[in-house]
Amino acid sequence: MQKIAVLLGATGMVGGALLKLLLDDTDYDLIRVVGRRSTGLTHSRLEEHVIDMSDMGALQQAIKGARVVFVAIGTTMRRVRGDRDLYRTIDFDIPVNAAKLAATEGVASYALVSAVGADPDNAYNFYIKLKGVTEETVAEQGVPRTIIVRPSLLMGQRKERRPAERVAQWLMPAINPLLRGKLSRYRGIDASDVARAMIRAVKAPAPGLFIYEYDDMIRLSRSADQ
């Protein structure tokens, strides 16, 4: 039986890093990318499903037969022009639907990119609250091994322009060493480290819910290189 990895969100920063690493990972026979647009890449082990992400039938077909599902979907208020309902459709509905279908299809592991500070009880920050609610709902779907990673500022090059983020990325190397102890979770982290940590995490056999922040992701990323 083929060992299939499904990836939602391959055109983003973490998703792009995941795709590159997965295509280099011979543990998987097929990498199935699911999204609204093509990556434009070709590879002998790459299969693309360009779909309407709200189409549950198409999404289920894309997930069918997978051993693991990676979800690196996300948007910004700027991209949705401040529409919170549309934001929720992307950042909540897609990850939750993918987890629900993964459980239905017998997927062994599910890994989600969330955000540092995610908290379903946060009454002041829409983004942080939504991330927390998404995490909770994903965990409730019952995929045997559920991985949630919570990066802070992502370091790396995006295809889209985000000037404020670029300034923060420029400053972060000087700020990172000052963030110690409990504050280390807010350190900037390279998207490739997040991706390596996710790939390493889904391969462990133990079932359960596992949440990884900065220190955990760095540890896992380095162990993956050994």
pLDDT digits (tens, 9 = 90+) for 124-148: 999 999 999 999 999 999 999 999 9
For the cut 80, the answer to whether the pLDDT of residue 165 exceeds it is no
Q: How many domains does the chain have?
A: 1
Residue 14 amino acid letter: V
> Domain range spanning residue 210?
4-224
Alpha-carbon Rg for the chain, nearest whole angstrom, is: 17
CATH of the domain at 25: 3.40.50.720
The band of 174, judged by pLDDT with boundaries at 50, 70 and 90, is low
- pLDDT, the chain, mean: 89
Percentage of the chain modeled with pLDDT above 70: 88
pLDDT digits (tens, 9 = 90+) for 73-115: 988 888 888 899 999 999 999 999 999 999 999 999 999 999 9
| 8 A C-beta contact, residue 107 and residue 60 | no
For the cut 70, the answer to whether the pLDDT of residue 224 exceeds it is no
Query: Residue ranges of the alpha helices (H) in the chain?
Result: 13-24, 56-63, 84-88, 94-104, 126-139, 163-175, 191-202, 214-224
| Rounded CA separation 78/83 (Å) | 9
For the cut 60, the answer to whether the pLDDT of residue 191 exceeds it is yes
3-state secondary structure of 2: coil
Identify the pLDDT of residue 149: 97
Count other Cβ atoms within 10 Å, centred on residue 82. 9
The four Cα atoms 47, 67, 97, 220 give a dihedral, to 10 degrees, of: -100
Identify the pLDDT of residue 159: 58
Q: What is the pTM of this model?
A: 0.91
pLDDT digits (tens, 9 = 90+) for 8-17: 999 889 999 9
